[in-house]
Structure 1
Amino acid sequence: MSTSAAGQPLIPQPPATVAALRQAIRQIAPAALPAFTRELDQAADQSRQGSDLAPLQRFVAQWAVYVHIQRQPHLAAALRHWEDAAESGGALQARQAASEIGRLLDEAHAAIGLSAR
C-alpha cells in the first residue's frame, strides 16, 4: 500500500461501481483482488439465479466500504487492530472489538452515503 502525506487518503473515494472499485483495490490493496473477483462472481451468480439485483448491490456496498477504509491508513490500521483484538482477546475484549469494528463500519457506510449495514 502506498503511503499518504499528513493523514490524507491514498486515493479519492471512487464511485460505487464494480470497475471503479476494482481499480481502487488494484491501487491500494492488490492482495484483495482475488477475494473481490471471487465475491463478484458469487454475487453475479446469486443475482442471476434469483433475478434480483440485491446480491450485486450488497457486493458493491461492501467493497465500497472496504475501499473507504483501506484508502485511509489510520482507519485501516484501527480496523486491523480491532480484528486482531477480537481474535486474540478474551470475551470482554472480543465484545469491545466487535463494538469498535461495528462503529468503524457504520461510519464508513455513512461517509460514502450508504445506509448502515
Structure 2
Amino acid sequence: MTAPIPMDGPLIPMPELTVAAIRHAVARITPSRVHVFDEHLAEAATNAQQAQSLAPLRAFIHVWAVNVAIARHPARAARFRALEALVDAGNEDPTDALAEIQQILQAATAEAGL
C-alpha cells in the first residue's frame, strides 16, 4: 500500500540520483511518461556504449532528475507547462516567460542536488 499523496508541498521526496529511484519517482508522479523515460534510457545507454563514455548516462540522470524535481510540485509543474505553452504559442514577447522558466529550472536543478 502506498502512502497518501499530500495536497500541499511536494508529492514525493526528491529521489536519489539513480536510474531506479528516478524511474520509480516518474512512475509515481507522472506515470504516463514512464515509456518516454525507458526509451530515453535505452538511447542514453546505447550512446554511452558507442562513445565509451558515461557522459550520456550522466546527462540522462540530470534531465530526468530535473523533470522529477519540477513534477513533484504540482503548482510549479503547472506553471512550467503554462510558460512553455505561452512561449510555444509565439503570440507575445517571451522574455519574461523565458526568464521564469530559467528560474524554475535553476531551482529544480539545485533541489535535485545537481
| TM over 0.5, shorter chain | yes
> Distance between the aligned counterparts of 2:43 and 2:95, measured in 1?
30
1:53 corresponds to: 54
> Distance between the aligned counterparts of 1:110 and 1:57, measured in 2?
16
Task: Give the 3-state SS of the residue equivalent to 2:13 in structure 1.
Answer: coil
Could you report, residue by residue, the CA deviation over 1:44-82 in whole angstroms, capped at 9, with x for unpaired residues? 011000110011001001101111111111111110110
Asked whether the 8 Å contact 2:5–2:12 carries over to 1, the reply is no
Instruction: Note the residue ranges of structure 2 that are not aligned, 5 or more in a row.
Output: none
> Distance between the aligned counterparts of 1:4 and 1:100, measured in 2?
26
Task: Give the 3-state SS of the residue equivalent to 1:108 in structure 2.
Answer: helix
Percent identical among aligned pairs is 39
Structure of higher RCO (CA pairs closer than 8 Å, 6+ residues apart): 2
2:105 corresponds to: 105
TM-score with structure 1 setting the length: 0.87
Q: CA deviation at 1:91?
A: 4.9
> Distance between the aligned counterparts of 2:92 and 2:73, measured in 1?
29
Over 4 Å off, 4+ runs = none
TM-score with structure 2 setting the length: 0.89
* CA distance 1:91–1:108, change in 2 (3 Å): same
> Distance between the aligned counterparts of 2:5 and 2:95, measured in 1?
31
Aligned residue pair count = 111
Asked whether the 8 Å contact 2:17–2:65 carries over to 1, the reply is yes
> Distance between the aligned counterparts of 1:3 and 1:112, measured in 2?
20
